[in-house]
Structure 1
Amino acid sequence: MSVYVVCPMCEQGRVETYRVKATGEVLQLCDECDSTWDVGAELSATEFGFIEDFLKERGLDPLWAELERVEGP
């Protein structure tokens, strides 16, 4: 049985770990509302960002194709 974390923002999506292909940066990302958190950060509804902004700040297209899911242990 898989265990996953429910997003504190939308309360619907799964928060999983992703890597930005171009930079190697790793972050936590909701697959429903696109909210992001640093890896290891507490998931909070007040301290978060959005994947589109994260990617644009790095000069990348704001697309899921820029990401790859990091498999858990």
Structure 2
Amino acid sequence: MREQVDVIEVCEECDTVWLEGQSVSMDAYTDLDPYMSGIGKEPLWSNLEPLERGAQR
């Protein structure tokens, strides 16, 4: 079974998360800890897979 994959943007300095399609702004964001907990993962950078900028899934 393949794991669900979400494409998100994460600020490396403050661990702010924006979901794919959201504007990167302070009006619409969540924090990495509750986002990762919500998908059943520990909020560790090792649980994220970086994509090249502009890469499509």
Q: Same fold (TM over 0.5)?
A: yes
Percent identity between matched residues is 29
Q: Does residue 46 of structure 2 align to residue 46 of structure 1?
A: no
Q: Distance in 2 between matches of 1:27 and 1:60?
A: 14
Unaligned runs of 5+ in 2: none
Maintained 8 Å contact 2:22/2:28: no
Q: CA RMSD in A?
A: 1.3
Q: Does 1:34 align with 2:19?
A: no
Q: Which residue identity does 1:44 align to in structure 2?
A: S
Taking structure 2 as the reference length, the TM-score comes to 0.77
Unpaired segments of 5 or more residues in structure 1? 1-21
Q: Under a length normalisation based on structure 1, what TM-score does the superposition of the two structures give?
A: 0.63
If asked which structure has higher relative contact order (CA below 8 Å, sep 6+), I would say 1
**Secondary structure at 1:52 match in 2:** helix
Following TM superposition, the consecutive aligned residue runs of length 4 or more in structure 1 with deviations greater than 2 angstroms are none
